[in-house]
Structure 1
Amino acid sequence: MQDIVIIGGSFAGLAAAMQLGRARRRVIVLDTGLNRNRYAEAAHNFLGHDGTPPAELLHKARHQLQAYPSVKLVSARADSVSGEADAFQIETASGETIAGRRLIFSHGIVDDFPPIPGFAESWGKTVIHCPFCHGFEVAGKRWGLVYSSPMSLHATSLYGDWTDDISLFLDGHSLNAEERSRLEMRGIKIHDARLTAIEHDKGQLRSVLLADGAEIQLDALYAHPRNRPSADFHTQLGLATKETPTGIMLAVDDKGATSRPGIYAAGDLVSGMHSISFASASASLAAMGAQSSMLA
């Protein structure tokens, strides 16, 4: 039996595995290899590694984990989870059963892309979700934002730190007169019509096409598609969740503990703020929580 089974081997999962491996705990990490930021050419705001491709960071982390003999990395997909603390069972897609005393969920989230031609092809390149992650490279250029929730109105203020050329695409949503006037006074260009297509060259944005026939030239388009956990373990186990503007996340305490004893979670699953730094930090806390819970 493993001390801890970690489901998800991207940044959060590997950070938890390293901390537990250094504590000489028996750990197995199950990973599908589908890290959420695989679309991005470079990762930013990760101290000491700014501008490094995500795949390169993950490759190096996996190599470093080889120094810890109690940690095992397995390429596999977990299909179901059952049991309770000290007696969890994980069934993989290949039919293998793995037993563990504790669980750490770090399988992340998936984004449900809208059916707009060019959106998926440009995602992570010039159709992006975070100015802190990608804004510096397109600072001072023409930005667009697809309205997704009232938080989008706050985003137009935030983006002003990077550019003064901002277009807000309501995409069929409505604004009241007061909100519209306030935005226009700040120089925000508002477009009411729905987006119909994104014109791009291998993911490099050129313009967006609207249902009213307009074509708006842009260099970057910010969008926040709905997202969801990449597996339904929270449903299988009845774990408490919390709503975010773009989906749900697992509810955890300050040590990553979920609503069910023995189960911890980290990374994009537990935070509306998505970055490698936040994922790694939350994974370290979850690892500490899981380890502490097994002490006599």
Structure 2
Amino acid sequence: MMHDVIIVGGSYAGLSAGLQLARARRKVLVIDAGQRRNRFAATSHGFLGQDGQAPEVIAAEGRSQLMEYPSVTWVQDNVVEASGQLDGFSVRTQCNGELKARRLILATGVVDELPAIEGLQERWGTRVFHCPYCHGYELDRGRIGVLATSPLAMHHALMLPDWGTTTLFTNGVFTPDAQQQALLDRRGVSVQNGAVRRLSGERVDLELEDGRVFNLDGVFTMSRTRISPLAAQLECELSEGPSGLYVHTNETRQTSVPGVFACGDTSLAAGSVALAVGEGVRAGTGTHFSLING
């Protein structure tokens, strides 16, 4: 069967893209592996109308609404290979073999690669975060740590005083220069040097290699992000973002390969449910215009 569009990834961006195409009565296949990036977080914030809702509830409701449209098919599977060209793309899945479509939308998200620090992984999404707008308010103006993984930790450190008393842990990664230190001083950010040994405790007890322990309500850090290999297989142009590679797109969210579109964290160097939904709309409508115009 030749679908109009295959959407690889059924999280917020993919669901949003699919909804636009379903309402245009296009034959859509969504292939989803079931690994939302924010699956570790208990609540989602900053999305108008859904603030404070559980991420899995938002995703489940979105899927339920999308599947009301009879032209949409959903497959729970993992896409391992993609190839083809305009009007003749194919994807190979682990369980359902080869599937074909005239257009592809990559909404595969990213994988977060975290610093190898004891106690960090198990607190990701609960006490260790990446987005102040998503999680800062709930820390109730408490004690916030910024765990540096690169000099880009300055970005977090200068933002977070609006959400609480902030300490930057340079973690042996970088030393603020005079200008950076002046900016940190102006924002009231304390700076602690030395490598971080572990995170522990009910909230966060951050221990440095020299034995000092800091009691915190939450920690923000920047992961390295890894995109799906599908974009490279299709020979899409990639760009280097602040945390890793992402897929380069134009204003319609078409990649450098005609007929291949990308949206969500795959093509935007930022992690937000609201942004993912908006980018999905752009990719869905862009794909529809492509089908109309050939």
Which TM-score tier does this pair reach, normalised by the shorter chain? over 0.9
Task: Give the fraction of aligned pairs with identical amino acids, expressed as a percent.
Answer: 35
Which residue number corresponds to residue 251 of structure 1? 248
RMSD between superposed Cα atoms in Å: 1.4
1:69–1:62 Cα change, 3 Å: same
1:68–1:182 Cα change, 3 Å: closer
Which residue number corresponds to residue 170 of structure 1? 170
> Which stretch shows the higher mean deviation, 124-133 or 142-151?
142-151
Which residue number corresponds to residue 279 of structure 1? 276
Normalising by structure 1, report the TM-score: 0.95
Is the 2:204–2:219 contact (alpha carbons within 8 Å) kept by the matching residues of 1? no
Which residue number corresponds to residue 265 of structure 2? 268
User: AA paired with 1:249?
Assistant: Y
Which residue number corresponds to residue 18 of structure 1? 19
Displaced runs of 4 or more, over 6 A: none
Are residue 242 (structure 1) and residue 242 (structure 2) matched?
no
Other structure's SS at 2:60 match: helix
Which residue number corresponds to residue 218 of structure 2? 220
User: AA paired with 2:86?
Assistant: A
CA distance in 1, matches of 2:292, 2:187: 57
Q: How does 1:23-172 map to 2 (within 5 A)?
A: 23-94=24-95, 96-163=97-164, 165-172=165-172
User: AA paired with 2:122?
Assistant: E
> Which stretch shows the higher mean deviation, 139-148 or 121-130?
139-148
Are residue 3 (structure 1) and residue 1 (structure 2) matched?
no
The aligned length equals 291
Deviation string 1:16-68 (CA, Å, 9 cap, x unpaired) is: 11111111000000001100000000011111111110111111111112210
The Cα shift of 1:174 comes to 2.6
CA distance in 1, matches of 2:204, 2:159: 23
CA distance in 2, matches of 1:116, 1:50: 31
Normalising by structure 2, report the TM-score: 0.95
Other structure's SS at 1:125 match: coil
1:24–1:174 Cα change, 3 Å: same
The Cα shift of 1:213 comes to 1.0
The Cα shift of 1:181 comes to 5.0
The Cα shift of 1:182 comes to 4.5
Structure 1: runs of 5 or more not aligned: none
Other structure's SS at 2:39 match: helix
Is the 1:242–1:250 contact (alpha carbons within 8 Å) kept by the matching residues of 2? yes
1:115–1:152 Cα change, 3 Å: closer
